[in-house]
Amino acid sequence: METTRKNNLKQARTLQIWNVIYDVIEVVVSLIAGITANSSALVGWALDSTIEVISAATLGWRLHGELKGIDEEKVKRRQKITLNVIAVSFTLICIFISYDSITKLINKETASWSTLGLVILLVSLVVNPILIYFKRKYGKKLESPALLADAKDTFICLYQTVVVLTGLLLVNWLEWWWADPVAALLIVPYAAKEGWEAFNKAKNINYNIT
C-alpha cells in the first residue's frame, strides 16, 4: 500500500473514532433533553445520533481492515456491509420519526422548553460541519463511497439540527404546539432518499471471497 493512501486511511479512521465519541455524548444529552421536554424532534435527533454511532463504528471497522492490509475482495465486502448499515440506519430513522411525530400530531402533544436541548443543538451546529468537511475530503481521496455516504448521513444530522432548533424556538416563542413534530417530519424525505442511494451503491458492489 502506498504511503499517501496509508496516511489518509489513518486520518479517516481517527476521524471516525472522534465521530463516535462525539455522537455518544450527543445521544446521551439529547435523549435526556428530549424525554424531559417531551420533544419528538429531540428524541428523533437522539435516535439519528445513535444510528450515526453505529454507522461511524462500522465504517471505522472497514477502514481499519484496509489499513491492516486485508485483500481487495474483503475490503469490498466491508464496504458493502458499511453501505448496507447506513441504508438500514436511514430506514430506521424514517420509521421512528414518522411514527412518533404523527402520533403527537394526532394527540396534539406539545414539547416544553429545553435549555439542555438548545445547548447540544448549538454545539452540533459547530461540530457537524467540521465532520462533514473531513469526511468528504478523505472520502474523495480514498475514493470511498462508504465514507462519502457517511458524510451525507452527517449532513442529515446537521439539517436535522437546524430543523429541530427551529421547531424548539417556534414552540417557545410563538406557542405553535405542532412545530416540534412537524420539524421532525421534515427530515423524513431527505433521509429516505439518502438511504435508498446507499442501498443502491451497496447493491452494485460485487466481491468474491473463497
Q: Which amino acid is at 36?
A: T
Is 23 domain-assigned?
A: yes
The torsion defined by the Cα of 84, 90, 148 and 68, in degrees rounded to 10, comes to -40
Q: Residue 208 domain-assigned? A: no
In eight-state DSSP terms, residue 82 is: H
The CATH code of the domain that includes 45 is 1.20.1510.10
Distance CA 112, CA 131 (A): 30
Nearest alpha-carbon partner for 28 in 88, 85, 36 = 36
Number of compact structural domains in the chain: 1
pTM, full prediction: 0.78
Measured CA to CA, the distance from residue 56 to residue 173 in angstroms comes to 36
C-alpha cell at 189: 424525505
Q: How large is the average pLDDT for residues 64-77?
A: 78
| 158 part of a folded domain | yes
The answer as to whether 186 is a domain residue is yes
**DSSP letters for 122-160:** HHHHHHHHHHHHHHHHHHHHTT-HHHHHHHHHHHHHHHH
pLDDT band, residue 135 (cuts 50/70/90): very high
pLDDT more than 70, % of the chain:
99
Please report whether residue 209 resides in a domain: no
Give per-residue pLDDT as tens, 176-207. Answer: 889 988 988 887 888 788 789 888 988 888 87
Average model confidence (pLDDT) for the chain?
86
Instruction: Say which DSSP state 177 is in.
Output: T
Q: What is the pLDDT of residue 84?
A: 87
pLDDT, greater one: 26 or 149:
26
Cell numbers given for 119: 445547548
Answer whether residue 138 is part of any domain. Answer: yes
| pLDDT band for position 25 (cuts 50, 70, 90) | very high
Q: Which residues contact 182 (CB under 8 A, 6 or more apart)?
A: 101, 105, 167
Confidence class of residue 210 from pLDDT cuts 50, 70 and 90? low
C-alpha cell at 167: 421547531
In-domain check, residue 69: yes
pLDDT tens digits, 72-90? 787 778 778 878 887 888 8
Structural domain includes residue 112: yes
1, pLDDT greater than 70: no
Residue 47's pLDDT band, with cuts at 50, 70 and 90, is: confident
Q: What is the pLDDT of residue 105?
A: 92
Please give the pLDDT value at position 20.
93
pLDDT at 128: 93
Residue 209 has pLDDT above 70, yes or no: no
Q: Give the contacts of 148 (CB within 8 A, at least 6 positions apart).
A: 135, 136, 139, 140
Domain that holds residue 35: 3-203
Q: State the DSSP code for 112.
A: P
The reported pLDDT for the residue numbered 129 is: 95
Instruction: Locate 172 and state its grid cell.
Output: 417557545
Alpha-carbon distance of 209 to 195, in angstroms, equals 26
